[in-house]
Structure 1
Amino acid sequence: MPIQGGLPPRNPHFVGREGLLVDVRASLGDGPVVLLPAAGHEIGGTGRTQLAVEYVYRYADAYDLVWWIPAEQPAGMRAALVGLAQELKLPEARDLDSTLGAVRDALSRGEPHRNWLIVFANANRPEDIRPYLPDGAGHVLITSRNPRWTAEVAQAVPVAAFDRTDSVDLLRRRGPELSAADAELLAERLADVPMALDQAAAVRKATGWTAAEYLRRYDERSAELAFPTPIRVAWGLSADALSEASPAAYELLELSAFLASAPVSWELLWAARGRVSAELDHTVRIERRLKAALRLIGRYGLADLDPPGESMLVHPLVRGMVGQQLSSERHAALQRSVRAMLAAADLGDPDNPAHWPRYSAIVAHLVHADVLGGEAEEIRQLVINCIRFLYARGDWDSSRELAAQAVARWRDDLGEADEQTLLASFHLANALRSVGRTADARDLNARTLRAQREVLGADDETTLATANSVGADLRMQGHFGQARQLDADNLVRYRRLFGESFPTALRCANNLAVDLRLLGDFRGARALDEQVLRHRQMIFVEGHPETLSSRAGLAFDLLGMGDYTGATEVLNGGHAEALGPGHPMALWAGRFAAIAARRCGLPQARELAEANVELFRQRRGDQSVETLGAVVSLANCAWVDGDLDEAQRLLERAVADYRAVLGAEHPFTLAAVTNLAGVVRAAGRFPEARTLDAEALGGLRRSVGADHPFTLSCANGVAADLIATGEAQRAREIALDTLSRSRVQRGAEHPHTLACAFNVSLDSGDELSTQLAIDELQKYCGDSHPLLTRALAGVRLETEIEPPPL
């Protein structure tokens, strides 16, 4: 049997379609196939989905993997594709588009399965699924009502009504007592439309109506309608019969008019208790009565139930016809009930992965219930939580789309200064930053923060959250000092309001430590990170993402202070591997481990760095700031190994990408230029190195100051450039100034200070001071470290830069 995912149950009443199944099978060999309603049946009801289900089960043995993707809404489609990524053992990227692209590419390559079948069900917008359509030896089957499918995307296969023989066969299988003549009469009246036939068979079985009774009722119902169609008449008879048998079950069906074509679990409907009519409330309050009502809806052919009867799926045509029957007052009342039901099903804490299945179930229905138009505060909070859930899950595009819709709607309905409008704006800015629209995020955050301070006050929790987000914007701009000032003010407010152990206060303290690291104050960052780590260890279990965040930050602090062994010990105690290799904390830990290994002189450093870069690219894409930091770390490994061509290639790409993402004057861009100058210098191209270093040094002095570790490393390189081009006196002046600043900034025992001291002594030509400098290096790094080897060979020592995480 193939690996399967998301498949609906097989229809035990499926009949006919033999020729159509053969045609679909043959056409799939030439590319994707889309099943469309045949001419004259544009609204559907011809059994496209059932045909796709039957194809899946009939030909399953021909495939290694079969995956069913509900594609009516992008969020549901993406969630199903994430499940497929997990089955394919692909690392899940924080950027969901990267994950989905990896799924498409893996299928196209046939890794690990060459023969696969992917079904996109109810894909009514070709543009939504086109980016995810794989190539390769596998097959793609699509069901849709939209005729706008071009031959370049998929081959259209029209699905018409049944042949009369198949209609009779279906009716007699569902009602064995039915004579062939009566079945012929029913099929003729129902125009051989599969959905109408299925509903007729179901309601006859549920009510015990004879063929004659059904036909009499059919003619009466048809005469009442201005534009009778087989589906509309058959549906009306089923709906009337259900309403008569159980008004509560019919009211439950009415709720489906405001829900999507996605399975609706009894647990979601259970949240309607206290929010519907007294009769329905009596049903939904008790699980067994609620499940019995679901079964009854299924018996009357008005919904499909999963085998355990835990959830129902209502066909879009049924939902549409239910909605058309409602008066404006009834429509408004039921819509309020559904909105309240969805809000009551909200578990809160959308960052908690344990709550994500519930949020996935809710998100599918937001549009159909027009939850954005809800008047109650708790309904709007549901929208905000869904925005945050989509962001936390990594579906930044869906988060951005929902947030943008909420902001636009609520600005009109509630005003731009409304608390929840502003909160949605905050979440929209987060999503914009994550999809690379950093300037838009920065502008929106600035406007939102000003409004929140005016309306809610500077100490409001949502105001503080936006201020934290503004701090992230400032870091992205390279304004590290301004970010520190803002985050320090936030931390004072958080601690005054909530105490220093409150989780959001700890996040703010964590952000302040990030600022200090970026400013080169590793001692200050270490003190803060150790404090935050202690508090988080008391609140969270070991291995929690927030605890690991503190460990990762502390490890980088120690790297910045030159304690490479201590950094390794901190990383080894964090259990980041429990989160999986693609988790952000695991990625950071992997990068920092590679840095520590390289600075300890261990041979496995480059292998660790290469694996880390690949994971970052899969997880965050080629141009994320985190990926670029990992690329710089890998380039440094290649540099130390003497592979100058590879180091230069990596650094030139990193410089170009940093300029594109952060700008030419950002400290990270200039840090990468500094490292590139070192590699060029090692290759003997001294004038080129001097030009690069001059550009970087001026920019770093302007942006982070003369005492920043980035600037000191660049100045050390400038001195080497000057020595190489014969300007010994100027080189000595810069080297002495750099050494003096490094002793103050980094400490006399820091390895980069020791390297600067060695360079000064080497330039002076004083053998005794040079030997003393070598002795200090040997005491620090041991006898076999590459740093000592270069010093003993009389080679100036480089002080390469490792950009911290933003």
Structure 2
Amino acid sequence: MPIRGGLPPRNPRFVGREDLLARVREMLGTGPVVLLPSQEHQLGGTGRTQLAIEYAHRHSEAYDLIWWIPAEQTSGTRAALAGLAQRLGLPESRDLNRTLGAVRDALSRGEPYRNWLVVFENANRPEDITPYLPSGAGHVLVTSRNPRWTTEVAQGLPVPVFDRADSVDLLRARAPELSAVDAGRLAERLGDVPMALDLAAAVREATGRPVSGYLEDFDRRAAELAFPTPIRVAWGLAAEALGAAAPADRVLLELCTFLASAPISWRLLWAARTLPLDPELARTVRVERRLRAAMRRIARFGLAGLDPAGERLTVHPLIRGMFGQELSSERHAALLRTVRGMLAAGDPGDPDDPAGWYRYAELAPHLIHSDLLGGDAEEIRQLVINCIRFHYARGDYDSSRDLASAAVSRWRDGLGESAEQTLLAGFHLANAMRAVGRSADARTLNLQTLRTQREVVGADDEATLATANSVGADLRMQGHFGQARQLDADNLVRYRRLFGESFPTALRCANNLAADLRLLGDFRGARALDEQVLRHRQAIFVDGHPETVSSRAALAFDLFGLGDYAGAADVLATRPGDAIPADHPFALWAGRCAAMAARRRGEPSARALAAENLAMSRKRFGELSVDTLASAVSAANCAQADGDLDEAHEMLERAVIRYHAVLGDDHPFTLAASAGLAGVVRATGRHSDARTIDMEVLGGLRRSVGSDHPFTLSCANGLAADLFAVGEVQQSRELAADTLRRSQAVRGTDHPDTAACAWNLARIGADDAAREQALNGLVKAFGDGHPVFRATAADLHLETETDLPPL
């Protein structure tokens, strides 16, 4: 049996279509196929979805994998493809776009399944699914109402109405006692349209109406309509019959028509029990047993599909549209208010908690069809904000951005730019923008939002503080570490005053301030904060909680910066009960620091640890992520320490190019990576080339982070060696002496990098006493037997290579 995901159950009453099924099979051999309505029935109802379902079941043995994707909305498409990624065993990326690209590529390669079928249902905008269409040996089948498909994307196959024999077979399958003559009379009046035939058969079965009586009703109903069509008339009779049998059921179905074609769970409908409703409807939805019975009755009249478990209703788009056309403006407004209230009542809250994501996955598809953005109640708009956050937390940054952008646009016009929820939506929009690489746009929007929030609700409001934290992240990303520190320090004072120092959001703010200090080279200040945050998080969270892992990784980076490599390794080694996966961002930070500490301690395992960390980072974040680039720099440092200069040069050269593209020419990380590249060039004996790079980088670092920053000191240490090698001995000695003084003042006399600077100055000055003293300092810093002494024995310059902390 093939693996099946989301495939609807087979229709036991499916009849005919043999020629069409054979045609689908033939056409799929040459590329994707899209099933379209026939020219005479552009609105649908000719059975495209049922044909796709039957094809998938009938030919299931030919496939290893069959995956059904609801594609009416992009977010639903992306969610279904994310589920396929898990089934394919693909690593989850923090950015869902990367995961979906990996799904497409894996299917195209035929790994791990060569023969597969992917069905996109209700894909009415070709451009929405084109980025996800795989190639390869598998098959892609699409259903759509939109005829605007080009042959470059998919081959169109119109699905016509039944021929008369199939119509008769369908009617008699539902009512075996029906004569062929009577079935033919019904089929002729219903135009052989599959949806009309199904509705008529359902109504007759539910009511026991004879053929003659149904045809009389059909003629009556048709005469009442200006433009009668078989589907419209058959739908009207079904809705009329349902209303006569159970008026509350019809109202319940009318509520469903304000929702999307996505399955509507009984839990969502059950949420309406808290709202003011008509007494009969209130009685129906108040008790789960009655609600489920109503759902079965609705399905019995053919007005919606019901899954085999009786959990979810699915209303065809045509049914939704016809109900909407029948409603008066007053009735439409009243039902819409109820639907919006029902959706808001179903909001589980806390969209960051994965335990509630399945509820948001049920709610999110219905936001657009119920025009939740136009809701006038605060709790309705809050559901929109929570769905924006849900998409973001799940890694679907595009869906988060699209919904947030729509909310900001609508609410600015309707509520005003300074309304609380307009500003909240703006905050979430900026987060999504930053996540998809639009950092400059995110910063501009965040600054505008923060300025307005401070004017309207004050600097101490919780939402204002959250935006201020986001602005701090923008500043760090842009390399403005000092400005980020000032902002985050002010935020922390406010958070602690309002919530106390152990409140989770206050701890996150303290964590951010520690990151600022670390990026500024103040590892002592960062360590004090990170130790405090770690203690509080250990008291609050269970072992292995992501935020505790984050604090351990941060503290390890602090200790590494202080030259305590053994201490950094110890912090990372004592992580009992960690439950997060190895490719979680915080786990990757910890893994990178472990490799860095191993390298500085001279352990042979360092290079393998760094290579593994880089591979996982690439899969998790992609090649252009700042996390991946920092991991590449650390891996290059390990390769250089292992003597593989070609590998180190290639990795650093690629990283520098990408840093220029991602962060810009003047960002401290771009400059620090460039200094690392100069170090490899220097190690190959090309001192003049290295000098050129270092001269430019040193000027940039002095301007951006100052002369005492570790990045600057590392570059200056390298440039001193360049100058010495090209014969500029006096300038080399002066720079080496200045670098040593600054390192002693900033990092301390016992820091390993200070000891390395002391050796380099003694070597340049050819001072034997100073060499002896420097060697003693190196023994104290690194211990006997460290690989650094192979370099001193050969009278070589000691590099103080830079590793980049997390942004």
Same fold? TM cut 0.5 = yes
Cα displacement string for residues 476-500 of structure 1 (whole angstroms, at most 9, x for unaligned residues): 1211111101100000000001111
Contact 1:781 1:788 in 2 (8 A): no
Measure how far apart 1:358 and its partner are: 0.8
Q: Secondary structure at the match of 1:271?
A: helix
Measure how far apart 1:446 and its partner are: 0.9
The equivalent residue for 2:295 is 294
Residues 177-196 of structure 1 mapped to structure 2, 5 A cutoff: 177-196=177-196
The equivalent residue for 1:546 is 547
- Residues 1:796 and 2:797 are matched in the alignment: yes
The equivalent residue for 2:70 is 70
Percent of aligned positions with the same letter in both sequences? Answer: 70
The equivalent residue for 1:513 is 514
Measure how far apart 1:356 and its partner are: 0.9
AA aligned to 2:314 is L
Measure how far apart 1:142 and its partner are: 0.5
Q: Distance in 2 between matches of 1:330 and 1:801?
A: 68
The equivalent residue for 1:749 is 750
Cα displacement string for residues 686-724 of structure 1 (whole angstroms, at most 9, x for unaligned residues): 111111111111111111111111111011001101110
The 10-residue stretch of structure 1 (73-82 or 737-746) with the greater mean CA deviation from structure 2: 737-746
The equivalent residue for 2:18 is 18
Q: Secondary structure at the match of 2:274?
A: coil
The equivalent residue for 1:274 is 274
Measure how far apart 1:783 and its partner are: 4.1
Contact 2:2 2:63 in 1 (8 A): yes
The equivalent residue for 1:659 is 660
The equivalent residue for 2:33 is 33
The 10-residue stretch of structure 1 (617-626 or 250-259) with the greater mean CA deviation from structure 2: 617-626
Measure how far apart 1:531 and its partner are: 0.7
- Residues 1:360 and 2:364 are matched in the alignment: no
The equivalent residue for 2:157 is 157
Measure how far apart 1:218 and its partner are: 1.0
Measure how far apart 1:792 and its partner are: 2.0
The equivalent residue for 2:48 is 48
Q: Distance in 2 between matches of 1:282 and 1:693?
A: 78
Q: Secondary structure at the match of 1:565?
A: helix
Contact 1:343 1:379 in 2 (8 A): yes
Q: Distance in 1 between matches of 2:161 and 2:578?
A: 55
Cα displacement string for residues 716-758 of structure 1 (whole angstroms, at most 9, x for unaligned residues): 0011011101122221221122112112211222211111112
The equivalent residue for 1:7 is 7
The equivalent residue for 2:105 is 105
Cα displacement string for residues 385-430 of structure 1 (whole angstroms, at most 9, x for unaligned residues): 1111111111111111111111110010011111111111111111
Which protein has greater RCO, CA pairs closer than 8 Å, 6+ apart? 1
Contact 1:63 1:115 in 2 (8 A): yes
The equivalent residue for 1:499 is 500
AA aligned to 2:27 is S
How many residues end up aligned between the 2 structures?
A: 806
Measure how far apart 1:577 and its partner are: 6.3
The equivalent residue for 1:226 is 226
Q: Distance in 1 between matches of 2:617 and 2:98?
A: 11
Q: Secondary structure at the match of 2:799?
A: coil
CA separation of 1:779/1:615 partners in 2, compared to 1, >3 Å: closer, same or farther?
A: same
Q: Secondary structure at the match of 1:579?
A: coil
Contact 1:576 1:589 in 2 (8 A): no
Q: Distance in 2 between matches of 1:776 and 1:677?
A: 26
Deviation beyond 4 Å, 4+ runs, structure 1 = none
Task: In structure 1, list runs of 5 or more residues that go unmatched.
Answer: none
Q: Distance in 1 between matches of 2:576 and 2:624?
A: 28
- Residues 1:475 and 2:471 are matched in the alignment: no
Contact 1:494 1:505 in 2 (8 A): yes
Q: Distance in 2 between matches of 1:538 and 1:681?
A: 49
AA aligned to 2:352 is D
CA separation of 1:159/1:576 partners in 2, compared to 1, >3 Å: closer, same or farther?
A: farther
Measure how far apart 1:768 and its partner are: 4.0
TM-score, structure 1 normalization = 0.98
Cα displacement string for residues 310-334 of structure 1 (whole angstroms, at most 9, x for unaligned residues): 1111111111111111110010011
Q: Distance in 1 between matches of 2:184 and 2:51?
A: 23
Q: Distance in 2 between matches of 1:591 and 1:118?
A: 38
Q: Distance in 1 between matches of 2:747 and 2:781?
A: 15
Cα displacement string for residues 246-295 of structure 1 (whole angstroms, at most 9, x for unaligned residues): 11111110012210010010011111113232221111110001101101
The equivalent residue for 2:651 is 650
Measure how far apart 1:784 and its partner are: 4.0
The equivalent residue for 1:690 is 691
Q: Distance in 1 between matches of 2:233 and 2:575?
A: 65
CA separation of 1:305/1:575 partners in 2, compared to 1, >3 Å: closer, same or farther?
A: farther
AA aligned to 1:105 is D
Cα displacement string for residues 433-491 of structure 1 (whole angstroms, at most 9, x for unaligned residues): 11111111111111111111000101011111111111111111211111101100000
AA aligned to 1:732 is R
Contact 1:576 1:586 in 2 (8 A): no
Q: Distance in 2 between matches of 1:201 and 1:581?
A: 56
Q: Secondary structure at the match of 1:119?
A: strand
Q: Distance in 2 between matches of 1:2 and 1:231?
A: 36
CA separation of 1:101/1:800 partners in 2, compared to 1, >3 Å: closer, same or farther?
A: same
Q: Distance in 2 between matches of 1:517 and 1:278?
A: 63
Measure how far apart 1:219 and its partner are: 1.1
The equivalent residue for 2:259 is 259
Measure how far apart 1:123 and its partner are: 0.4
Measure how far apart 1:568 and its partner are: 2.1
- Residues 1:431 and 2:432 are matched in the alignment: yes
Contact 1:635 1:651 in 2 (8 A): yes
Q: Distance in 2 between matches of 1:591 and 1:465?
A: 29
Contact 1:335 1:369 in 2 (8 A): yes
Q: Secondary structure at the match of 1:272?
A: helix
Q: Distance in 2 between matches of 1:9 and 1:714?
A: 65
Q: Distance in 1 between matches of 2:631 and 2:795?
A: 30
Residues 382-781 of structure 1 mapped to structure 2, 5 A cutoff: 382-574=383-575, 578-781=579-782
AA aligned to 2:469 is N
TM-score, structure 2 normalization = 0.98
AA aligned to 2:178 is L
Q: Distance in 1 between matches of 2:53 and 2:772?
A: 79
Contact 2:93 2:621 in 1 (8 A): yes
Cα displacement string for residues 595-643 of structure 1 (whole angstroms, at most 9, x for unaligned residues): 1222222223222222222222222222121111111111112221222
The equivalent residue for 1:116 is 116
Q: Distance in 2 between matches of 1:27 and 1:415?
A: 53
The equivalent residue for 2:214 is 214
Contact 2:545 2:579 in 1 (8 A): no
Contact 1:755 1:799 in 2 (8 A): yes
Contact 2:523 2:559 in 1 (8 A): yes
The equivalent residue for 2:305 is 304
AA aligned to 1:711 is T
CA separation of 1:725/1:615 partners in 2, compared to 1, >3 Å: closer, same or farther?
A: same
Contact 1:576 1:585 in 2 (8 A): no
Q: Secondary structure at the match of 2:441?
A: helix
Cα displacement string for residues 636-675 of structure 1 (whole angstroms, at most 9, x for unaligned residues): 1222122222222221221122122211111111101110
The equivalent residue for 1:197 is 197
CA separation of 1:100/1:290 partners in 2, compared to 1, >3 Å: closer, same or farther?
A: same
The equivalent residue for 1:380 is 381
AA aligned to 1:327 is S
Contact 1:37 1:48 in 2 (8 A): yes
Q: Secondary structure at the match of 2:366?
A: coil
The equivalent residue for 1:140 is 140
AA aligned to 1:227 is F
Q: Secondary structure at the match of 1:258?
A: coil
Q: Distance in 1 between matches of 2:424 and 2:250?
A: 38
- Residues 1:125 and 2:120 are matched in the alignment: no
Q: Distance in 1 between matches of 2:189 and 2:787?
A: 89
Give the CA RMSD over aligned residues: 1.3
Q: Distance in 1 between matches of 2:301 and 2:572?
A: 60
Q: Distance in 1 between matches of 2:117 and 2:651?
A: 39
The equivalent residue for 2:371 is 370
Contact 1:548 1:576 in 2 (8 A): no
The 10-residue stretch of structure 1 (273-282 or 62-71) with the greater mean CA deviation from structure 2: 273-282
